[in-house]
Structures are given as C-alpha cells and as structure tokens.
Amino acid sequence: MIGYVTVGTNDLARSAAFYGEIARILGHGQLFTTERTVAWGTPEKGAMMSVITPYDGEPATVGNGSMFGFPAEREEQVHQIYDFALANGGKDEGPPGPRGEQFYGAYFRDPDGNKLVAYVFRG
C-alpha cells in the first residue's frame, strides 16, 4: 500500500549502519546512496525505505504519533531486529510479544528517536 517511507536523521552514517542491519535481517539490499540519502528495499516488490538529512538544512525531528513498521516473515526476525536496535542506540518501546491474537511485534525507537515496530501477522 505504501511505496516508500523516509526518516529524517541528524547523523546519516549512524542511521545508515542502523537501518542497513535491519534491512539485512529482513533480506533487503541497499538500493542507492546520495550525499543526503541512503535507501534500501526490494525493487520487484516496489517498496523502499530511506534515511535522509533534511533538505532545508534544519535539524531532523521526530514526528509525534508517527510510526512505521518492518514486516518480518518470522518471529525470530522480530527478536533479532529488536535486540539489534537496543544494542545499537535504540530505545525500548515494548518488547517482542503478541498484541492480540494475530499480531506479534516489538516496538523501539531508532537513535534519532523515530518510533518503529518489527512485526509478523499470525495466520
């Protein structure tokens, strides 16, 4: 449904390393890099996620109430992403576990404070 998402950062190198590992865990590759952007995804699925320094030169800020999710294939990947995030500057917003009968997720913030979730829908 969403083609791509972009997250602002104040430290492109740090964010590239942080999100690059999450992309690797989920089986996605880096698509491109520019002076202000690093992007990952799977072209044949038409999905992309990127980090970017703001065009206007102002500091990147966190959106209040904004969040985006990384769909995983297995609960193990949810745990891997959550553990990686917390070990690399991320903050806990809710450990891995079921949220209702069909949703299994882990909530965290990246080093810039953006809220994220890694999740799996259970059949």
Residue 5 CB neighbour total at 10 angstroms: 12
**Domains of the chain, first to last:** 4-54+67-121 (3.10.180.10)
The candidate with the shortest Cα–Cα distance to 84, out of 61, 62, 110, 103, is 110
The Cα–Cα gap between 104 and 81 comes to 13
- Mean pLDDT of all residues in 83-104: 96
- CA–chain centroid gap for 108, Å, is 9
CA 51 to chain centre: 9
Predicted TM-score (pTM) of this structure: 0.89
Mean pLDDT of the chain: 93
Q: Report the alpha-carbon distance of residue 17 to residue 42 in Å, rounded.
A: 18
* pLDDT for 24: 96
